[in-house]
Amino acid sequence: GAGVSQSPRYKVAKRGQDVALRCDPISGHVSLFWYQQALGQGPEFLTYFQNEAQLDKSGLPSDRFFAERPEGSVSTLKIQRTQQEDSAVYLCASSLGAGVDEQYFGPGTRLTVT
């Protein structure tokens, strides 16, 4: 079956621009996660949704970062007024239940801010 998909795969933005990154989780998966992976580092947690409810946004680095999942399926991570330090790969993951199930990762969106 289809896995987690993300779009676009690559995004170049000029500093100060707003960007929107999309995640399509595996159909029927209740939980959705966003992670940020800087070059040469491991992924770092940004935020977590259970259906449409954002239950944990403790990892969002600033109020320029905003995520939503309005219908409990597709999610969008928005970054306003992008800065160079926002350059990273943004990973989306989903899991079947609301418990501690395996997380399935998408291929990521590589954001480069120039």
Partner 1 sequence: GDSVTQMEGPVTLSEEAFLTINCTYTATGYPSLFWYVQYPGEGLQLLLKATKADDKGSNKGFEATYRKETTSFHLEKGSVQVSDSAVYFCALRGGGYQKVTFGTGTKLQVIP
Closest contact distance (angstroms) between CB of 108 and partner 1 is 7
- Least Å distance, CB 16 to partner 1, is 30
- What is the identity of the amino acid at 88? A
Closest separation between CB of residue 58 and partner 1, Å? 8
Give the N- to C-terminal CA distance of the chain in Å, as an integer: 37
Other Cβ atoms within 10 Å of 70 Cβ, number = 9
Q: Prior bond to 43 cis, omega within 30? A: no
Q: Which is nearer to partner 1, 12 or 55 (CB)?
A: 55
Q: Does 39 bind partner 1 (CB under 8 A)?
A: no
- Mapped to the 3 state alphabet, what secondary structure does 94-113 carry? EECCCCCCCCEECCCEEEEE
CA atoms within 13 A on the CB side of 78: 9
Among 33, 60, 75, 88, which residue interacts with partner 1 (rule: CB under 8 A)? 33
The single residue among 14, 63, 84, 102 that binds partner 1, judged by CB under 8 A, is: 102
Residues that bind partner 1 (CB under 8 A): 3-4, 31, 33, 35, 40-45, 48, 55-56, 59, 91, 93, 100, 102-103, 105-108
